[in-house]
Structure 1
């Protein structure tokens, strides 16, 4: 699998999400979603087209190729795993978790993502068997931080 910069992964994710709502994405909508200039979008779309990940022509609707779709789905999957972990296990506010997931999804490799997913499944399974590991952690953190949202060193 070819390496993509975090920025290009963000473009794939934006196209994936926008195209999910319609038949394709428009560059102005991508620019708005990513808070970037339209000229930046054009440059990124050209690179994605050259890499065989996006179908792009100026003033047209942008769609993902089959490989672009698969790559974007993986980026979205990582994002959702991270956000779920931050919100449901760590008890982080959804907006904060969203921003953190955007940053972390590019930095964490497949092994860490896989283990996080496994841990989330463990927490969910434990909850089904009467133990709320996530709530236990949130109470532990709250008691150690005096109820304040700050990082506690081990």
Structure 2
């Protein structure tokens, strides 16, 4: 995704905000973006000009902002990375939703797509693995909260240790 690589974290936040607003309202306005991101109107104008120059949005001052096809593709990539990270943090690492949201927002800009894809696959694996599944994920959550494993985890751990290949 060439356009994504050229976007700063700040511009990714703007394209993501525009995406969400246009999904809700079919179009975005500068004031909607400023309110969503908690930034000034001048900052929004500068970002909109930059995104427009990159061919990601249709922008004319004082008019509604819409996304180009390329802009929608870039925004969907950013949203996908954000959601994948947030899901991993909540479902696998048992992180509080608010902290997971904050962390996903920061990491989505820096993590290579390969890492995001691997986290998604790892989460799917944990959910379907017969030795893991939701029980494994819940077991980790319980371990984190209480500092101890569940009784059924003790049996599983001892079984794993018995079957562990020995080093020569």
Q: Same fold (TM over 0.5)?
A: yes
Once the 2 structures are TM-superposed, how far is the Cα of residue 141 of structure 1 from its aligned partner?
2.3
Once the 2 structures are TM-superposed, how far is the Cα of residue 131 of structure 1 from its aligned partner?
5.2
**1:43 to 1:120, Cα distance in 2 relative to 1, 3 A:** same
Q: Looking at CA atoms only, which structure, 1 or 2, has the larger radius of gyration?
A: 2
Compute the TM-score of the two structures, normalised by the length of structure 1: 0.88
**Unaligned 5+ residue runs, structure 2?**
149-168
Contact 2:127 2:133 in 1 (8 A): no
Q: 1:120 aligns with which of 119, 123, 126?
A: 123
Deviations 1:54-105 (A, max 9, x none): 1001111111110000000000000000110111111111111111110010
Aligned to 1:141: 144
Q: Does 1:94 align with 2:88?
A: no
| Cα distance in 1 between the residues matched to 2:126 and 2:106 | 24
Q: Secondary structure at the match of 2:129?
A: helix
Compute the TM-score of the two structures, normalised by the length of structure 2: 0.81
**1:54 to 1:131, Cα distance in 2 relative to 1, 3 A:** closer
Contact 1:126 1:133 in 2 (8 A): no
Aligned to 2:163: none
